Amino acid sequence: MTRERILEDLQEIFRALFDDKSIVIGEQTTARDIEDWDSLEHINLINMIERRFQIKFDMKDVVNFKNVGDMVSCLFHKLS
Amino acid sequence: MIDLLTPPFDPQKILENKRALKKQLLLQEGLLEKRVALLGGSTIGEIKSILELFLLSHGIKPIFFEGQYGLYYEELAFENPALAEFHPDVIYIHTTSRNIMEYPRPGMSAEEREALLQGTFSRWSEMWQSATTRYGCVVLQNNFDMLPYRIMGNMDAVHRNGRLRFLSDLNALIYDFQLKNPRFHVNDINYLSACYGLDQWHDAKNWYLFKYALTPGAIPVLCHSVAAIIKAVYGKNKKALALDLDNTLWGGVIGDEGAENIRLGMETPEGMAFLEFQQYIGAVSDTGVILGVCSKNEEENALSGLSHPTSALKREEFASFKANWEPKHLNLQAMAKELNIGLDSIVFADDNPAERQVVRGFLPQVETVPLSVPEEYIRALDRQAYFETVSLSEDDLNRNSAYRQNMCREASRALFKDYEDYLRSLKMICRVDRFHSGNLGRVTQLINKTNQFNLTTARLSEAEAALRAEDPSYIALCGALTDRFGDNGIVIVLGARVKGEEAEMELFLMSCRVFKRRLEDAMLDEMIRRLKQAGVKKLTGLYFPTGKNALVKDFYLEQGFTAVSKERFELDLRGDAAQKYDAMEIVRYDA
């Protein structure tokens, strides 16, 4: 799976979780860019991503996520 | 009920749709507002939003107070002005075995271990005690889930210093606490976690990262169960189960195959599944759930199935019996009328999805059980928590025999030309009593679930009813009705607040089971008698329409009150205002 494809799937998850079809994310996107992305929704986001991609993040991955790009990298690594 | 909120759950879908679901649920009419304080020993966040959905689906609109992370003990055990100002109706404390601070060590002496157990328990019980007395509200907490590891392996459940044994003993103390404190309720997460699978329930990563003590995927299961207790406390349980027959209570179509060929009993796997389902339903009905038959069948064939030698359920266990070729929604409507309950109190179980669909289309207020294959019927019905029991009153245990007695009364009524003669023939005795600890359970239950004959539909928790029992300026009466066919138990409640020479009737409600017995007349007489003794000169009756209580909209006018507004009716007590009603003997328990 390419990084672009992963980003597209992530975008679908963001749109579903935040109930907003206009959300567009990029690798540089952070919690500051999306209004409802608070600590609570961050937990939901992580759990949704795990279920959608059928993977489990390691704890240290989650701790080190700084932006969407980090998530993409981690997923890219897990899926390849 | 919305499919997404019906077990088994898809946590992902619930999460994705929570905003839309909330919007949709908030559109319902007549939502009951309740103030719910949420305190936790771990992350609560998502529990709040999912619990809200389940409560809304039961018609309860929660207003939340969220405690600070992990500070449940400090917030409850000590004075807490913010919580006091919030005036909670319900306090829900979400904890897990993560919140147990200390476990016995393998070498601990029996005395030390006992002291640790009692010490751990009393820390919790003092907190609950403090919360119930300080806020006079319902307090709800879970028991404890088993741990994800076992220090001593199997022995951990056995040895007194085993951690699992410690948790089991602690849980037993918690159950005894509830039995002595009816305002306290246990949410059985020990069972929920077992059903979910302990290995899935305990999710170490989500704990270390986010302090979720259970896996986020289990949140719907947890919240569904918590909401079930709260809806039951506020009288929103279902009351009756209407059952199809062919392929629901037995295998096969009895009209085609004949009673001797249906599958029911120990001979076939299918027969065993149906038999166990019948036995399960029998046990549920013993808790006071009313049973009805709703089947497309010749009545004769339907009866032959229930008199089948292996049938666990017999004809007389069904308070209503509709076996005919009418559409099922019409039969359910007739059943509701016959049993004197609302359609929204009925659960309909039918193996045929087409029949369920028709019923859902015509009668959206009727719950339909998502039955699939017979071996899953029990679970499909059980997991819905339609009939969640929060207390088991004498009345619940006798309900089904009460309905049978009613059938006898109906039969005897046909013998009388004059209704008053009939009433006198019943030899009714009304036992009047004030509210006290011995009857508050039943009184509160009646207050919270009576819809039709209910003038104000004021709902009270047991704690609130207890306050009225103790208030010298409040006259709180309940009446139990006996006749020659049996005892109906407490079926009527009146409450009047006295202010000087005036009184206002806050509560006036009566069980549908005793309609048309003129019990309401007798009890109003009794109330007026007592008000006069207290020096009251004017009584105000209130009527608040709800959509379910149109039956009593003219009640006060019929009783000779004068309307002063749409909702207020006055009666001058200075004259001889009381009616004389003699078809019933009055016995005063509190005199």
Residue A49 with chain B: CB contacts under 8 Å: none
Question: Which residue does chain B place closest to A13, by CA atoms?
Answer: B16
Q: Are B346 and B366 in contact (CB under 8 A)?
A: yes
Q: Is it the case that residue B414 has pLDDT exceeding 80?
A: no
Residue A43 with chain B: CB contacts under 8 Å: 43, 45-46, 206, 209-210, 212, 216
Phi-psi region of B276 (alpha: psi -120 to 50; beta: other; left: phi over 0): alpha
Instruction: Indicate which of B42, B49, B199, B205 best probes the interface with A, i.e. most A CBs within 10 Å of its own CB.
Output: B205
Q: B252 vs B485, which has greater pLDDT? A: B252
Residue B19 with chain A: CB contacts under 8 Å: 19
Question: Which residue does chain B place closest to A49, by CA atoms?
Answer: B12
Looking only at Cα atoms, what is the longest distance across chain A? 32
Residue A46 with chain B: CB contacts under 8 Å: 209
Q: Are B141 and B186 in contact (CB under 8 A)?
A: yes
Q: Is it the case that residue B405 has pLDDT exceeding 80?
A: no
Q: Is it the case that residue B582 has pLDDT exceeding 80?
A: no
pLDDT tens profile B436-452: 988 998 999 899 888 88
Q: How far is CA B148 from CA B153, B212, B519, in A?
A: 11, 15, 58
pTM for the full predicted model = 0.76
Query: What whole-number distance in Å separates Cα of residue B457 and Cα of residue B445?
Result: 13
pLDDT at B475: 96
Q: Is it the case that residue B341 has pLDDT exceeding 70?
A: yes
Query: What whole-number distance in Å separates Cα of residue B249 and Cα of residue B283?
Result: 14
Query: What whole-number distance in Å separates Cα of residue B393 and Cα of residue B187?
Result: 20
Residue B45 in contact with partner chain A when CB distance is under 8 A: yes
Instruction: Indicate which of B10, B12, B14, B43 best probes the interface with A, i.e. most A CBs within 10 Å of its own CB.
Output: B12
| B66 three-class SS | strand
Query: What whole-number distance in Å separates Cα of residue A56 and Cα of residue B205?
Result: 10
Q: Is it the case that residue B578 has pLDDT exceeding 70?
A: no
Phi-psi region of B356 (alpha: psi -120 to 50; beta: other; left: phi over 0): alpha
Nearest CB to A19: which of B12, B19, B46?
Answer: B19
Residue A31 in contact with partner chain B when CB distance is under 8 A: no
Nearest CB to A44: which of B15, B205, B208?
Answer: B15
Query: What whole-number distance in Å separates Cα of residue B318 and Cα of residue B290?
Result: 7
Residue A2 in contact with partner chain B when CB distance is under 8 A: no
pLDDT tens profile B196-242: 999 999 999 999 999 999 999 999 999 999 999 999 999 899 999 99
Query: What whole-number distance in Å separates Cα of residue B239 and Cα of residue B58?
Result: 14
Q: Considering only residues 42 to 71 of chain A, which have any Cβ-Cβ distance to chain B shorter than 8 Å? A: 43-44, 46-48, 51, 56-57, 59, 62-63
- What number of residues does chain A have? 80
Please compute the mean of the pLDDT values over residues B514-524 and round it to a whole number: 89
If you average pLDDT over every residue of chain A, what do you get? Answer: 92
How many Cβ pairs within 8 Å bridge chains A and B?
35
Amino acid letter, B504:
E
pLDDT at B452: 87
How many of the other CB atoms lie within 10 Å of CB of A24? Answer: 9
To 5 degrees, how large is the angle CA B290–CA B294–CA B295? 145
In sequence order, the 6+-apart residues with CB closer than 8 A to the CB of B373 are: none
Structure tokens at B426: 């019943």
DSSP-assigned states of every residue in B187-198: E-HHHHHHHH-H
Nearest CB to A59: which of B19, B208, B217?
Answer: B208
Please compute the mean of the pLDDT values over residues B406-413 and round it to a whole number: 74
| A57 three-class SS | coil
**Tally of CA atoms within 13 A in the half-sphere of B146 that contains its CB:** 22
